[in-house]
Structure 1
Amino acid sequence: MSEPGMEILFGFHSVVEALKAGRRRFEGLYLFKKLSGRRKDIVMAAAKTAGIPVSFTDTRQLDALARGGVHQGIAARATLFPVFREPELMAQIAQRQLPFHALILDQIEDPQNVGALIRTALCTGIDYIVIPKDRSALPGPGVSRASAGAMEHASIFVVTNTASTIRTLKTHNAWVAGLDAAGSTLLHQADLTGNLVLVVGGEHKGVRPGVLKVCDFVISIPIKSPVTSLNASVAGAMAMYEALRQKIVN
């Protein structure tokens, strides 16, 4: 078991990106003793650069470390991923000179969805990712692996009350857009320029009514199918890329 304040990262991309990001302290790196090829070379080089000791072990120990997760012959013991809180979010925004884009994940519980959204957020230039502390998949080994290590480079803020956070973001001249199948504004018609906060809801109920209520407008994505909704990570990705497109053309 990990010591308090420590966790086990597993999988090639999670471990390598965490080493590159340099935001965690590593106590050990564990490789399958028969691991070979390019991946081994990359991990060994990253570990050497970071000054991390490497131990070679068998699949039994790696399976135990990863607790059944797909580790690809690579695991590491590291400090917890550093998350920020709401006061730090507002302080950073207050110091910005350029418009900002933020993404709020409203009680998304599936680590695969959270990981995919974090990766897309980085790819589309989202500056801040906000996650409520309750009923959410929080940053950890599973989310890191689902993001293919992208989480290790992200600025993630964990907040207590999503609606309250949105109200405070509005004081920084941000427009807040919620995603919902019943939204009155179609995605391609929405103005997503300037300071923008996108809110993506959970897998089962979407954005909560109390959170939608404090959004400035609600966006829907046209669907031409008997299926009535998109996966949370897909809907979020479409909205983030539309915001990036508008940022580029404007």
Structure 2
Amino acid sequence: MKQQLIFGIHAIERFIKQAPQSVFSISFLKGRLNPRQQALLDQARSLDLQVELVNKSVFAKIDGNHQGVMAMVEKQKDLSEADLLKIAEETANPLFVFLDEVQDPHNLGAILRTADAVGVDAVIIPKNQSVGVNATVRKVACGAADTVKLVVVTNLVRSMKELQQNGMWMIGLAGETDKTIYQQDFSGAIGIVMGAEGTGLRRLTREACDHLAAIPMVGSVESLNVSVATGVTLYEAFRQRNL
């Protein structure tokens, strides 16, 4: 059984709430605990979870704000192309998000958190040149890494085309179009396609989209961070789909 590390109070609180049976152990930084740490410790003990008080050196391997708490949990099952088609077939008017080689874990975590908030049915990433779920992603996602279906595919464009053949429309976010997200129809079975940090959509990914739409901007910056752009677009889709 594969294990993975998660850290941060909120991320661990959410994981315990959703899947306490998948927690192997929780470690706290030895010393006086603050109220939130103590509450988490009490909750873990009430559930008979394995609890450890460890020295600062144990937390040194964590690259991020661990807040004095980390846990070893069961690694969630990876979803693949076959799972993606099944989700699409079993969901009425699914809303998917395709991420074209997003590599910053903070961006993926933020996107998963927004995807959870608006009810996205799946987030799809390519197997190569893309960040996967790690401890930083889990912390930023605040539990959404375990509630949003994350599907890893071998070829992003091929998966997009397979879903298009099954009636899904692909809408890519790109600056080189006069059509804005507020003029775009997000009803029905929709895949929102977002490009990587800095480079945007790759050529083949852009060409595979049925429509391109832009976020209107009046300031001096040329583009938004990919997680911010995804959030803006998802909430416009949410607004249209819940009128």
2:36 — aligned with what? 38
What is the TM-score normalised by the length of structure 2?
0.93
Is contact 1:129-1:156 (8 Å) kept? yes
2:216 — aligned with what? 222
Q: Where do residues 150-189 of structure 1 align in structure 2 (5 Å cutoff)?
A: 150-189=144-183
Is contact 1:20-1:46 (8 Å) kept? no
Unmatched 5+ stretches in structure 1: none
Shift of residue 161 of structure 1?
0.5
SS at match of 1:178: strand
1:245 — aligned with what? 239
Of the three residues 125, 130, 133, the one matched with 2:127 is 133
Shift of residue 150 of structure 1?
1.9
2:8 — aligned with what? 11
Shift of residue 145 of structure 1?
1.0
SS at match of 1:76: strand
Structure 2 residue 35 is matched with structure 1 residue 22: no
Alpha-carbon distance in structure 1 between the residues aligned to 2:111 and 2:135: 15
Alpha-carbon distance in structure 1 between the residues aligned to 2:116 and 2:103: 20
Alpha-carbon distance in structure 1 between the residues aligned to 2:222 and 2:85: 36
Alpha-carbon distance in structure 2 between the residues aligned to 1:29 and 1:38: 14
Identical columns (%): 28
2:53 — aligned with what? 56
* AA aligned opposite 2:233: A
Shift of residue 171 of structure 1?
2.2
Of the three residues 102, 119, 138, the one matched with 2:96 is 102
What is the TM-score normalised by the length of structure 1?
0.91
Alpha-carbon distance in structure 2 between the residues aligned to 1:48 and 1:109: 38
Query: How many residues are treated as equivalent by the alignment?
Result: 242
Q: Where do residues 70-109 of structure 1 align in structure 2 (5 Å cutoff)?
A: 70-96=65-91, 98-109=92-103
SS at match of 1:187: coil
Structure 2 residue 209 is matched with structure 1 residue 212: no
Q: CA RMSD in A?
A: 1.8
* AA aligned opposite 1:152: D
SS at match of 1:31: strand
* AA aligned opposite 2:46: K
Taking a change above 3 Å as real, the CA distance of residues 209 and 44 of structure 1, as seen in their structure-2 partners, is farther
Alpha-carbon distance in structure 2 between the residues aligned to 1:156 and 1:183: 29
Is contact 2:78-2:151 (8 Å) kept? yes
